[in-house]
Amino acid sequence: MPSVIISLSDEVYKELKKRADKNMLNIKEQSEDIIRRSMLSYKKDSTLKLAKTDDKLLYIFSREKRGRRSSKR
């Protein structure tokens, strides 16, 4: 299995540790879970984006509205 080395600040490490403890995982398992979920989300989003248009540039410069809608006041 490939391995990755990540350097984290003490603050980020503490937050990751809290999150891992909350989810009853160790830090390695929590990190793997975060990366796995991120990649699943990325893959899902990228396939939808490419399926809508044939050309990446067309997608980038299209007027299609994406993202969160602004709240009307």
Express each pLDDT in 28-46 by its tens digit: 999 988 888 888 777 766 6
Does residue 66 form part of some domain? no
Does residue 70 form part of some domain? no
Compute the half-sphere exposure of residue 48: CA atoms within 13 Å on the CB side of its CA: 7
Number of domains in the chain: 1
CB 49 within 8 Å of CB 57: no
d(CA 27, CA 14): 10
Does residue 2 form part of some domain? no
Does residue 5 form part of some domain? no
**One pLDDT digit (tens) per residue for the chain, 73 residues:** 788 898 999 999 999 999 999 999 999 999 988 888 888 777 766 655 555 555 666 656 666 666 666 666 5
- Determine the structural domain holding residue 46 and report its residue range: 10-61
Tell me phi and psi for residue 57, to 5 degrees: -65, -40
Does residue 4 form part of some domain? no
